[in-house]
Amino acid sequence: MDHLSAVIVIANTITLVFGGAITGLAHRAAARTGSPALRSLSVGLGLVTLGTLLGGGLHQLLDAPLLASLAVQSIFTATGFVALAYSLYAERTPVVETVDTV
């Protein structure tokens, strides 16, 4: 493995660790609140993270050509960003404030 490959593996590992953690936190928040925006956010982050895993796994573990692995990763990243953009426009449930009357 040359130096450039090592840098790519390290960067993708960091992406997997932190992307997985952030995806998990967003999923927990979506489950807790029932927010469609948070659900879309967690899906988008999950797709970006999954693309990193699949792209790197195809190249490193299955010896797929670099361009094929990069294409898989790019498709998942693009789809993830579509979901992330949608999460910004997802319908938000208005917060209803209750007022106690005496």
Per residue in 6-39, pLDDT (tens digit) is: 898 899 999 999 999 999 999 999 999 999 999 9
Answer yes or no: is 82 within a domain.
Answer: yes
Q: Summarize the confidence of residues 35-49 as an average pLDDT.
A: 95
Number of domains in the chain: 1
Answer yes or no: is 42 within a domain.
Answer: yes
Where residue 22 falls (left for φ over 0; alpha for ψ -120 to 50; beta otherwise) is: alpha
Answer yes or no: is 95 within a domain.
Answer: no
**Which residue range forms the structural domain that includes residue 28?**
3-89
Quote the pTM value.
0.82
Q: Summarize the confidence of residues 87-96 as an average pLDDT.
A: 72
Answer yes or no: is 94 within a domain.
Answer: no
Answer yes or no: is 85 within a domain.
Answer: yes
Answer yes or no: is 98 within a domain.
Answer: no
